[in-house]
Amino acid sequence: MLSEQTPAHFIGFDALATGDASLLKEPFRVRRKALVDAVTEKRWCHVTRTTEEPEQGAQWLETFEGAGLDGIIAKRLDGPYMPGKREMVKVKHARDADCVAIGYRIHKSGEGLGSILLGLYRDDGDLQMVGGAASFSVKDRIKLLADLEPLREGDEVREGDPSRWNSAADKRWIPVRPEKVCEVAYDQMEGNTLHGKRFRHAVKFVRWRPDREPSSCTFDQLDVPLNYDLYDVLEST
């Protein structure tokens, strides 16, 4: 059965009620204790780890990235639950990388580009797509298109992989000569092997890097966290 082949685990981080009693107005400290008291079956049900020590939180941020976790959450111990409001703070990694611009997509409005497709060179010399930079202002969309359009050769348009966030999105893209390097800000990579890695989320374009040779943009510059089994993360919860 599927439940035996791929068992599901419940991981709780907050409690909004116990039975018919609402805990929404209770501080997080009280809600957290109610959650811990309620989770008695430890094999399939867990609660997230917590600490009041910043150093411990920083260690978890670094260590558990290798288990696929992309950050840690900071919450006020005395804060009530606030429906519809983001009262918590998510702490994620802040990194930068230099990538080769290998193509672009036109913005859905038809004005300027919508995203820049990025690549890194592998050890075998192949240029591998690793994601894209998006969310530009109208002014930047037009300027960046002017920067990349001269590198286009012919009228080729390539089909892109379907978006996991929006299956209806047009993923066609226009390739360009791999001559321009840009610096991007990113949080995390995903993938099981080094040459199968890509940016987990869309990255932020920072600036062009005319001082960098495209061939110098390799996977070697990336932080590669040590693999960490998620079950080890849950072990003491």
2-92 — its CATH code? 3.30.470.30
Query: How many CB atoms are located within 10 Å of the residue 198 CB?
Result: 14
pLDDT of residue 227 exceeding 80, the answer is: no
pLDDT of residue 162 exceeding 60, the answer is: no
Contact 103, 175 (CB under 8 A): yes
pLDDT of residue 108 exceeding 80, the answer is: yes
3-class SS shares of the chain: helix, strand, coil, % to 5: 25, 30, 45
Per-residue pLDDT band for 103 (boundaries 50, 70, 90) equals very high
CATH topology of domain 95-221: OB fold (Dihydrolipoamide Acetyltransferase, E2P) (2.40.50)
Q: Which residue has the higher pLDDT, 16 or 202?
A: 16
Q: Which residue has the higher pLDDT, 36 or 8?
A: 36
List, for residues 187-212, the tens digit of each pLDDT value: 988 875 555 788 988 899 999 999 99
What are the boundaries of each domain within the chain? 2-92, 95-221
Contact 91, 75 (CB under 8 A): no
